[in-house]
Copies of this chain bind each other. A is one copy, B any other.
Amino acid sequence: MTNKIRWGILGPGKISRSFAIGLLEAEGAEIVAVGSRDRRRAAAFAGEFGVRNAYGSYEEMLADPAVDAVYIGTPHAFHHDQTLLCLRAGKHVLCEKALALNADQAARMIAAARETGLVLMEAMWTRFLPAMVRVRELVATGAIGEVRSVTADFGFRAKFDPASRLFDPALGGGALLDIGIYPLNLAFMICGEPVAIQTQANLGATGVDEESVTLLRHEDGRLSALSCSFRADTPREAHIQGTEGRITICCPWWKATRIIVQPREGKPDTMDLPARGGGYSHEAAAFMDLIRSGVPESDVMPLDESLAIMRTMDEIRARWGMKYPGE
C-alpha cells in the first residue's frame, strides 16, 4: 500500500481549490491542514474539503507536525518567502508556477531546498499530463524527425482591474508570469534554454505586461514563437514542427487531452489522452513519488530548468524595461 502523504494547503484561493480536487484523486494523498491569513477563508476551505485543521496563519499551519508537504497556491510575489518558511519548518514544497518573481528569488529557494534535502518542485502541472508525456515520447523517438520550431499561444481577454492579481505589480501581475510561462515552459521542454531572445510587449496602466510576443533561438537553430495576452483571445494551440511531421496540441493546449500527429506524408493520427483530477492529479502523484522514494528533485520539471525559465523571464522583462516592486 502506498503510504499517505499528508498535505497542508497554503493559501485557500481558486487555484488551491482546483489543485485540491486533483490532489484527492491522486493515490495516497490526504489534506490535513489549510492555512490562510484569514481564518474564515481557511475554515471555509476546510469545510469544503473535509480538512481537519484550519489555521489563521501560515506559521501555525507549518508548526503542525502532521503536515508532510505544503502546496503553495498564493500569487507569485509570495512564493519566495513562503517557500523558505515551509522549508525551514521541514516541509516538502510544491510551489505554484511561476516559482518566484525572478531568478534571484528562485535561486535562493532552490539553495534552501538543497540544504535541507526536502523536495521542492514548481507546480508546472502541464508537463505531467499524459498528453505531454506522449509528446515527449514522440519527439524523443523521432516521430516528427528533427524538431525545427515550437509555436504556442495563451491569450484571453481579462477584464481590467488594477486590484486583481493579474494586473497588480505588487502581486507579480502581468501576462508573462501568469500565462506566458506555459508557452515558455513548452519551448524549454522541447528545445531547451534559448541562446537568443527577442521580444515585444505592451505594458498597461498598472505597469505590467498585458500582451507580448517572444521569439527564441535555441541550440541547433531551433526557433520558438510564443505569445500571451490579457487583451485578446488567441487560438490556444501549440505546434511542434519537425522535418518529418508536426504535432498539434489541441486547444486548450496547457491542459491538453488531445494531440494530433501529422506525419509529413500520410494521414493525421489523433490521440485522446485524458487527464485525471482536472489535470492536477498527475503532478501531485509525481511529487508524492519523489517524497516516497527520497528523491528531492523532479527530472520532469527539474529545479535547474525552473531556474533557467525564471532567468529567461527576467531577461524578457529587462528587454521591456519592466520591473516588479523591490527589484
User: Which residues from chain A sit less than 8 Å from chain B, CB to CB?
Assistant: 145, 148-149, 151, 153, 155, 157, 196, 198-200, 202, 211-215, 217, 221, 223-225, 227, 229, 231-235, 237, 239, 241-246, 248, 262, 264
Contact = CB atoms under 8 A, between A and B. Distances in A.
Contacts of A227: 149, 151, 223, 225
Nearest to A235: B239
Contacts of A213: 149, 215, 223-225
A217 B212 CA distance: 10
B157 A232 contact: no
A148 to B, nearest CB: 4
A225 to B, nearest CB: 5
Nearest to A234: B241
Contacts of A239: 234-235
A200 B223 contact: yes
Contacts of A151: 151, 153, 225, 227, 234-235
A145 B231 CA distance: 11
B246 A233 contact: yes
Contact of A198 (B155, B215, B232, B243): B215
Nearest to A221: B202
Contact of A232 (B224, B237, B246): B246
Given A157-B264, A214-B215, 9 more contacts: A151-B227, A213-B215, A215-B225, A232-B241, A233-B246, A233-B262, A234-B241, A235-B239, A235-B246
Given A213-B223, A215-B215, A217-B200, A243 B235 contact: no
A213 to B, nearest CB: 5
B157 A243 contact: yes
**Interface of A: prevailing SS:** strand
A264 B233 contact: yes
Top 4 closest A-B pairs, CB basis? A198-B198, A232-B241, A148-B232, A202-B221
A262 B215 CA distance: 26
Contacts of A243: 157, 231-232
14 contacts: A148-B231, A148-B232, A149-B227, A149-B229, A151-B151, A198-B198, A198-B200, A200-B215, A213-B225, A215-B215, A225-B225, A229-B241, A233-B262, A233-B264
Contact of A211 (B149, B198, B214, B224): B149
Contacts of A246: 232-235
A148 B211 CA distance: 9
A155 B241 contact: yes
Nearest to A245: B233
Contacts of A224: 213
Contact of A235 (B214, B234, B248, B264): B248
Contacts of A200: 196, 198, 215, 217, 223
Nearest to A202: B221
A198 B214 CA distance: 10
A233 B237 CA distance: 16
A193 to B, nearest CB: 15
A187 to B, nearest CB: 12
